[in-house]
Structure 1
């Protein structure tokens, strides 16, 4: 149960992180948004990223072995990185329709999944 809760919280965290880091690039298409300066954009992104931390910190705390969770610190980090790539990929395809994934991207993702496999191997 703690493993699934950790993964779910990491997915939510990464959705907010991706939106905070890359969402403003799409908002540039809106005329009202282009009038705002970089400092305003940073503050908005920071506000969105606050929600990332609201999910990330509990996910790591619940999932970490020293707090009764099922994962080591290294396993948590690798899980988080793979989730980041998956969330980003979905975001890029759905929000930035001009972005395409090529075979080399797929091969890179396969290597990352293999990294997860080896990190969890005893």
Structure 2
């Protein structure tokens, strides 16, 4: 069986796996907020089970992506994806509003990402 790295371009593979892993992690960390009546131990165990799938995607994403991206770039990509996934999740799943303050904060984070990826020579 061929390696995924030999089939897909590394940036596409890395970002795709990071998006998928962040969907799992967002549900693991925040999905239980709709079920506040559930016992805490139950939601911890369910969240831990969901997080397992996040790790099975995140670890290969970082392993395969490192070399094409630096560790700092991988972390930056992960954080931008994490915030993007969370914004959609909080709006679509939790029914929370996204305000201009969120947009401004995300824009500042995007500016920080630009500095990480900009080649200053």
Q: CA deviation digits over 1:28-63, x for unaligned, max 9?
A: 3xxxxx3x4211110110000000000000000010
Partner of 1:76: 74
The equivalent residue for 1:92 is 90
Aligned to 1:43: 45
Q: Which portions of structure 1, spanning 4 or more consecutive aligned residues, are displaced by more than 4 angstroms? A: none
User: Are positions 1:112 and 2:96 aligned together?
Assistant: no
Q: Secondary structure at the match of 2:97?
A: coil
TM-score of the pair, normalised by structure 1? 0.88
Task: Note the aligned Cα RMSD (angstroms).
Answer: 0.9
Aligned counterparts of 1:73 and 1:81: Cα–Cα separation in 2: 12
Q: TM-score, normalised by structure 2?
A: 0.88
- Which runs of no fewer than 5 residues in structure 2 stay unpaired? 1-8
* CA distance in structure 1 between the aligned counterparts of 2:108 and 2:46, rounded to whole angstroms: 34
**Residues in 2 aligned to 1:109 and 1:76: alpha-carbon distance in whole angstroms:** 18
In the alignment, the residues of structure 2 paired with residue 88 and residue 27 of structure 1 have an alpha-carbon distance, to the nearest angstrom, of 18
* Structure 1 residue runs without a partner (length 5+): 29-33
